[in-house]
């Protein structure tokens, strides 16, 4: 058996180094392994305890510093306390025991609290929650649940048909216990470890500790200083294996807990610079390099990066004097090479000599899918993802060794403004170390996130060699060398691989050989008509030759001497390698912008994408390669020839090998609004995995704005169809790609069919007050069936700020050199009427900030804080009144009715059904407002509803060609009082009489604020039967601060109110099926007031009697005559209440709770207390529930709720 085992495992393919020449370079120069180079890893954070990240190859600490720039680890520790008898009460409510061995000359401690689930990655959080539930919740809960079931069964056996009120309540109590325990099981959610945090100064430096024990035993916890000072980190627990470190800012007022938010950053760091002294095959590319780990992925946002985190990160990069940055992140961008983040990155590169390496993106295979900043920023080296045969075998265990290729998903250039987008490529997969909390030593990951650190590590080798040999370099000499020496991969288009795969030794030799060139300290900024290259894509721009002005501007770093700038003089040869781009033969360069005109004539090109470059060579040194490149991309779309069906078909079957990409560029016909793509397999034996990627480009819009992406399996002889919306007159790329690892060949046919139903307005803005709205729809291409449908699925609540504050930010946000940043903090007040999913966002900043998030929000009142940052204070001043929107999901979608004519709409006759719309024929339709009874209760005037309208009958068009609808709510109709009937005219009153009544009512209003009894006695003599007077006294007594001392008075006052209500009259009225009296509406209002007054008085009386019983029970007066009397009164009052109200009605539920408590029926009491909490969620009501859980003996539920208190009701707002 052993003879057939292959002992030569391709270990070099696990973390690829041969493909870039890194292995050969290290074999030749073993000491140029990254030593002397510092790489900043901007990512999800790095685990300092992960394998390979402890030290460099020459024994130095691997991780120089760990920084969290997101704010997700920030803890407000501005509260300062001093221990009493060696103890501090933490903000969690726990008592913390301060060890006597701690050095603290001032004796003062800064305290805060942190829910660690805010930092735990989701995978770890899920594992911890599962363990917590199984060990601490399930055992006692199962016992309690079984006991509740047993008690209920025993009662039902003993009382099969309970009739007495006491028996009914007893059974209700037992059923409530079972229901509550069942509900608690369903909604169980662990709040996570809630740790008290202490910060203090020991006389030398700031120290911090987290109470990871959650018991207050600080002696068992690890004391840490800021990581940069002593390189300390700590493990949260042996179960979670979650390592963290700390940094302390603002004179001890802010504690930052630095912890990785995911495995991504650690994996990236190990690819770039992991070091395994005992297993060098596992080494990263540059094992001698050191790392600054900067967390830019916010744990609160599923590790999404934020603008403020990136700005802080670049400040740290410059402060730490990092040589290299690896940024394996990216987003689609509306504006390439622009924005505050891109500006600060370019500043770091151009002014501080930082080399910035970034992933190009994983959004291919369509063109112009590169992300920002990696594929769109000129100062950055954007890296695509390449896969070699050795990687396919070692990492992916493919049965066959396929030729080298680009990963299918690797993003492609060019950028919309003409730059190539991808600079170079590198291996885009690796098996490398991941954080210890994953409970695995290593893991396979792939993406341009992996190709970027591979290239970054390779560049670190080059820098290590340059530093060791004293060869000067700049970020642009390095970038130029990388691009001029990269190795092209045969069969891979330039848009995917850029200039080719990085070659470490060749790049080093290139820089060394040309270190003395005249342009060694200069970069050449290329601009073409406001862009960075030529990018012709639309058919209209290619009907004749185009002349464009190219500007070449030499740019020096600030520290370059004047003589070098003056002496710059280069004779440049301009070269075009294709006949359709015409350029002048030469250009004389000096230290000033120079321009020349090129002519691009695409008329003779075949349909498809074409790329070339105008190259500028130094005539005296052409072997160095081009000094600058002017990218030229021409996409030649085809027009649709079939003017009947508007169908484009594959002229012949297309054979797809693994990784093969087939592109079709089509000039979308005028009037088209959606396209349907049908793909058919002609292979009877092979299943293929494919991607259909369709993109249209618009100025100032990211490619994602008009993109369709489908990943699918195409079965043997199978067929699939997909639809996507299209823009008329705009070139659409139809990109069909075979998955790179899908083996075998597949032959396919495909066709693209265009449809069109064109509305007169693309965004339908309706206002309820406008009444009927007309929309016209026509079919420009062919006959289409029209069947309009409008669905409103969300409501939007606009908010205006209640206050604003502008202030300078702290040291972490000061841009070099000493440029302070400012924050504008806006405060909004929001009321959530019911629990549902919401999406808060600021439309003014849409496109400037990152993605919005949906989340579930409980009912209640909320304060929203919005922070906007910028260097310019005046700009923030202009935003101090910016509107904020909260979008909430409606319980069910609402429909608007559509009619074929205005008369039908007015009369509510036949609605719009299905109409066949001929070519060029217009179909009018009339939309009516939402009926008043359908308007959501949460929607107020000024709110609006949002949804979509579709016009096509066919399902593909109905789902795809949709348009946004905004429906603005108007004021609700005024309901006439008294059923619309005028009240009988009141008899004219004497002014003195009116004054006396007004004075009486005014005094009643002030009873609660003044001496209520004195006012009451005064008014009682004059108005003994005036019910509001007696109600006023009852309310004043019940709301008094000394209420518990006046319980007898409350009972007496309630009896007076109850006695004033004619119960027989009220009962007679409520028993009526219909009231036919002319003043029935007036009578109804009066009776409802009386009923409400009666119920309120009964409840207040019952609550007072119950409180007397509860006070007596607390005072050990069980069994006394008085308590028996009061208990009887409580029961009697409760029985009276049941005649008039439901016991769980929110207005009476407080009495229901107290009645249950005095009867010892804690199941009913908890049910009522939960009702109160649901209506008014606050800490006081939550504590009441906890108290009842303890009384019934459910300690595990009480402890669980207590752990939630500091999470649900924090002491202060979360720091940004």
Pairing of strands 688-696, 324-327: unpaired
Q: Which residue has the higher pLDDT, 1176 or 42?
A: 42
Confidence band, pLDDT 50/70/90 cuts, at residue 2: low
Percentage of the chain with pLDDT > 90? 77
> Where exactly are the structural domains of the chain?
14-68+259-511, 74-120+192-258, 133-186, 639-755, 764-968, 991-1208
Q: Taking the mean position of all CA atoms in its chain, how far away is CA 997? A: 59
Mean pLDDT of 821-847: 90
Q: Which two tokens stand for residue 76?
A: 């407000």
Q: In 44-142, where do the E strands start and end?
A: 63-68, 74-76, 79-81, 87-89, 95-97, 109-115
CATH architecture of the domain formed by 14-68+259-511: 3-Layer(aba) Sandwich (3.40)
Q: If we measure between CA atoms, which residue out of 367, 296, 369, 376 comes closest to residue 336?
A: 376
Q: What are phi and psi of 204, to 5 degrees?
A: -115, -40
Confidence band, pLDDT 50/70/90 cuts, at residue 976: low
Q: Running DSSP on this structure, what letter comes out for residue 337?
A: T
Check: CB of residue 466 under 8 Å from CB of residue 512: yes
Percentage of the chain with pLDDT > 70? 97
For residue 848, pLDDT over 80 is answered with no
Run of H or E including 773: strand 773-778
Rounded-to-integer distance, Cα 1059 and Cα 1096, Å = 13
The mean pLDDT of the chain is 92
Other CB atoms within 10 Å distance of the CB of residue 747: 16
Rounded-to-integer distance, Cα 562 and Cα 157, Å = 102
User: 3-state DSSP: the chain helix, strand, coil percent, rounded to 5?
Assistant: 35, 30, 40
Other CB atoms within 10 Å distance of the CB of residue 679: 23
Rounded-to-integer distance, Cα 553 and Cα 590, Å = 9
Whether the model clears a pTM of 0.85, i.e. scores above it, the answer is yes
Pick the CATH number of 639-755 from 2.40.160.40, 3.40.50.2300, 2.60.120.680, 3.40.50.620: 2.60.120.680
Residue given tokens 């409180």 in the structure block: 1107
Q: What are phi and psi of 386, to 5 degrees?
A: -115, 145
Sheet of 109-115: strands edge to edge? 79-81, 109-115, 194-201, 206-210, 223-224
Per-residue confidence (pLDDT) for residue 170, from 0 to 100: 94
Check: CB of residue 811 under 8 Å from CB of residue 902: no
Pairing of strands 254-258, 74-76: antiparallel
**How do residues 132-156 score in pLDDT, each as one tens digit?**
999 999 999 999 999 999 999 999 9
**How do residues 1079-1111 score in pLDDT, each as one tens digit?**
888 888 888 998 999 999 999 999 999 999 988
pLDDT-wise least confident of 49-63, 225-239, 335-349, 1005-1019: 1005-1019
**How do residues 606-663 score in pLDDT, each as one tens digit?**
999 999 999 999 999 999 999 999 999 999 999 999 999 999 999 889 999 999 999 9
Q: Which two tokens stand for residue 24?
A: 């050969």
Classify the phi-psi angles of 954: left when phi > 0, otherwise alpha if psi is within -120 to 50, otherwise beta: beta
For residue 778, pLDDT over 50 is answered with yes
For residue 535, pLDDT over 80 is answered with yes
Mean pLDDT of 232-244: 94
- Reply yes or no: is the peptide bond before residue 365 cis, omega within 30 of 0: yes
Per-residue confidence (pLDDT) for residue 983, from 0 to 100: 47
Q: What are phi and psi of 1132, to 5 degrees?
A: -60, -45
Per-residue confidence (pLDDT) for residue 874, from 0 to 100: 93
For residue 1007, pLDDT over 90 is answered with no
Other CB atoms within 10 Å distance of the CB of residue 99: 13
Q: Taking the mean position of all CA atoms in its chain, how far away is CA 575? A: 48
Per-residue confidence (pLDDT) for residue 240, from 0 to 100: 92
Q: Taking the mean position of all CA atoms in its chain, how far away is CA 1131? A: 53
Check: CB of residue 325 under 8 Å from CB of residue 427: no
Check: CB of residue 436 under 8 Å from CB of residue 443: no
**How do residues 459-471 score in pLDDT, each as one tens digit?**
999 999 999 999 9
Q: For domain 991-1208, is the CATH number 3.40.190.10?
A: no
Give strand pairing partners of 736.
662, 692
Q: If we measure between CA atoms, which residue out of 390, 328, 302 comes closest to residue 72?
A: 302
Per-residue confidence (pLDDT) for residue 987, from 0 to 100: 56
Rounded-to-integer distance, Cα 64 and Cα 270, Å = 15
Residue given tokens 């020839």 in the structure block: 641
Confidence band, pLDDT 50/70/90 cuts, at residue 1118: low
Per-residue confidence (pLDDT) for residue 1201, from 0 to 100: 95
Q: Angle at the Cα of 807 (from 803 to 808), degrees rounded to 5?
A: 160
Mean pLDDT of 237-251: 95
Active-site residue list: 43, 264, 449
């Amino acid at each position: 058996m052993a003879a057939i085992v292959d002992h030569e495992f391709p270990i070099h393919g696990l973390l690829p180094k041969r493909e870039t020449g890194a292995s050969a370079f290290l074999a030749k120069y073993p000491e140029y392994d990254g030593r002397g180079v510092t790489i900043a890893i901007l990512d999800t954070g790095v685990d300092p305890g992960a394998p390979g990240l402890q030290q460099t190859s020459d024994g130095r600490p691997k991780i120089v510093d760990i920084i969290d720039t997101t704010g997700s680890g920030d803890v407000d520790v501005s509260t300062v306390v001093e221990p009493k008898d060696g103890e501090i009460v933490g903000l969690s409510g726990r008592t913390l025991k301060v060890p006597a061995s701690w050095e603290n000359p001032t004796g003062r401690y800064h305290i805060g609290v942190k829910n660690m689930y805010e930092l735990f990655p989701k995978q770890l959080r899920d594992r911890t929650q599962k363990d917590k539930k199984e060990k601490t919740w399930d055992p006692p809960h199962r016992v309690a649940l079984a006991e509740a079931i047993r008690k209920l069964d025993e009662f039902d056996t003993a009382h099969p048909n309970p009739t007495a009120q006491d028996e009914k309540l007893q059974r209700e109590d037992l059923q409530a216990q079972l229901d509550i325990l069942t509900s608690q099981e369903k909604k169980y959610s662990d709040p996570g470890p809630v740790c008290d945090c202490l910060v203090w100064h020991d006389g030398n430096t700031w120290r911090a500790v987290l109470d990871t024990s959650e018991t207050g035993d600080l002696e068992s916890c690890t004391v840490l200083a800021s990581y940069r000072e002593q390189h300390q980190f700590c493990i949260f627990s042996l179960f979670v294996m979650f390592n963290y470190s700390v940094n302390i800012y603002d004179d001890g007022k802010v504690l930052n807990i630095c912890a990785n938010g995911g495995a991504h950053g650690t994996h990236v760091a190990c690819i770039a610079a992991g070091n395994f002294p005992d297993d060098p095959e596992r080494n990263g590319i540059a094992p001698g390099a050191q790392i600054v780990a900067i967390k830019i992925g916010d744990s609160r946002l599923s590790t999404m990066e934020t603008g403020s985190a990136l700005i802080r990160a670049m400040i740290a990069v410059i402060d730490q004097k990092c040589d290299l940055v690896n940024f394996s992140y990216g987003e689609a961008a509306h504006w390439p090479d622009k924005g505050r983040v891109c500006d600060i990155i370019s500043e770091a590169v151009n002014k501080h000599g930082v080399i910035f390496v970034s992933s190009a993106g994983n959004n291919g295979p369509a063109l112009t899918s590169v992300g920002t900043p990696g594929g769109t920023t000129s100062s950055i080296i954007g890296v695509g993802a390449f896969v070699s045969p050795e990687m396919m075998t070692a990492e992916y265990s493919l049965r066959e060794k396929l030729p080298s290729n680009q990963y299918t998903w690797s993003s492609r250039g060019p950028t919309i403004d003409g730059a190539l987008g991808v600079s170079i490529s590198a291996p885009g997969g690796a098996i490398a170390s991941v954080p210890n909390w994953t409970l695995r030593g290593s893991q396979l990951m792939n993406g341009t996130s992996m190709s970027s650190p591979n290239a970054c590590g390779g560049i670190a080798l080059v820098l290590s060699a340059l530093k060791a040999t004293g060869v000067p370099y700049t970020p642009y000499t390095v970038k130029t060398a990388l691009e001029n020496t990269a190795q092209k991969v045969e069969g891979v288009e330039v848009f995917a691989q850029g200039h080719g795969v990085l070659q470490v030794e060749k790049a080093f030799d290139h820089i060394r050989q040309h270190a003395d060139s005249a342009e060694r300290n200069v970069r050449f900024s290329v601009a073409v008509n406001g862009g960075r290259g030529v990018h012709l894509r639309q058919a209209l721009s290619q009907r004749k030759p185009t002349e464009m002005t190219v500007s070449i501007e030499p740019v020096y770093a600030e520290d370059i001497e004047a003589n070098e700038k003056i002496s710059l003089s280069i004779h440049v040869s301009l070269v075009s390698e294709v006949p359709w781009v015409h350029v002048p033969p030469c250009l004389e360069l000096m230290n000033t912008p120079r321009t020349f005109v090129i002519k691009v004539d695409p008329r003779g090109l075949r349909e498809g994408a074409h790329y070339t470059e105008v190259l500028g060579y130094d005539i005296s040194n052409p072997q160095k390669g081009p000094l600058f490149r002017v990218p030229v991309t021409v996409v030649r779309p085809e027009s649709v020839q079939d003017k009947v069906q508007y169908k484009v078909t594959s002229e012949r079957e297309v054979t797809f090998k693994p990784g093969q990409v087939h592109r079709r560029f089509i000039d979308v016909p005028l009037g088209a609004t959606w396209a349907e793509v049908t793909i058919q397999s002609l292979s009877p034996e092979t299943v293929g995995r494919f991607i259909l990627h369709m993109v249209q480009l618009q100025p100032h819009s990211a490619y994602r704005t008009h993109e369709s992406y489908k990943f699918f399996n195409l079965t043997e002889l199978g067929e699939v169809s997909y639809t996507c919306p299209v823009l008329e007159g705009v070139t659409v790329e139809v990109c069909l790609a075979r998955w790179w690892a899908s083996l075998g060949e597949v032959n396919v046919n495909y066709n693209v069919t265009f449809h069109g139903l064109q509305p007169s307005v693309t965004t339908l803005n309706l206002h309820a007050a406008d009444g009927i709205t007309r929309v016209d729809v026509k079919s420009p291409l062919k006959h289409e069936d029209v069947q309009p449908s409008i669905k409103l699925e969300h409501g939007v609540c606009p908010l205006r700020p209640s206050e604003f504050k502008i202030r300078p930010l702290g040291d972490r946000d000061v841009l070099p050199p000493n440029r302070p940043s400012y924050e504008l903090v806006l405060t909004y007040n929001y009321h959530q009427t019911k629990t549902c999913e919401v999406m808060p966002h600021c439309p003014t900043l849409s496109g400037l900030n990152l993605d919005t998030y949906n989340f579930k929000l409980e009912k209640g009142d909320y304060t929203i804080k919005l922070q906007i940052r910028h260097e310019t204070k005046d700009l923030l001043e202009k935003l101090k009144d910016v509107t904020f929107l909260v979008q909430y999901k409606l319980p069910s979608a609402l429909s608007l009715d559509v009619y074929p004519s205005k008369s039908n709409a007015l009369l509510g006759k036949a609605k719009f059904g299905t109409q066949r719309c001929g070519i060029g024929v217009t179909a009018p339709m009339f939309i009516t407002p939402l009926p008043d009874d359908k308007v959501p209760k949460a929607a107020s005037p000024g709110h609006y509803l949002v949804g979509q309208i579709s016009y096509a009958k066919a399902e593909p068009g109905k789902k795809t060609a949709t348009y946004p609808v905004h429906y603005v709510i108007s004021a609700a109709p005024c309901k006439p009082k008294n059923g619309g009937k005028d009240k009988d005219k009141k008899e004219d009153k004497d002014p003195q009489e009116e004054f006396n009544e007004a004075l009486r009512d005014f005094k009643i209003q002030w009873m609660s604020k003044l001496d209520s009894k004195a006012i009451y006695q005064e008014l009682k003599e004059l108005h003994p039967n005036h019910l509001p007077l007696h109600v006023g006294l009852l309310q004043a007594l019940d709301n008094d601060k000394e209420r518990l001392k006046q319980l007898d008075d409350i009972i007496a006052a309630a009896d007076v109110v109850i006695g004033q209500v004619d119960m027989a009259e009220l009962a007679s009225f409520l028993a009526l099926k219909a009231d036919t009296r002319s003043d029935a509406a007036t009578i109804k209002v009066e009776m409802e007031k009386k009923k409400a007054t009666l119920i309120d008085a009964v409840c207040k009386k019952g609550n007072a009697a119950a409180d007397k019983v509860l006070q007596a029970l607390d005072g050990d007066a069980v069994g006394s005559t008085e308590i028996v009397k009061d208990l009887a009164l409580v029961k009697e009052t409760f029985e009276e209440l049941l005649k008039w109200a439901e016991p769980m009605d929110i207005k009476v539920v407080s009495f229901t709770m107290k009645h249950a408590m005095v009867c010892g029926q804690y199941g009913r009491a908890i049910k009522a207390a939960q009702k109160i909490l649901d209506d008014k969620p606050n800490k006081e009501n939550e504590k009441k529930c906890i108290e009842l859980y303890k009384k019934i003996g459910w300690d595990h539920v009480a402890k669980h709720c207590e752990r939630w208190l500091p999470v649900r009701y924090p002491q202060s707002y979360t720091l940004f």
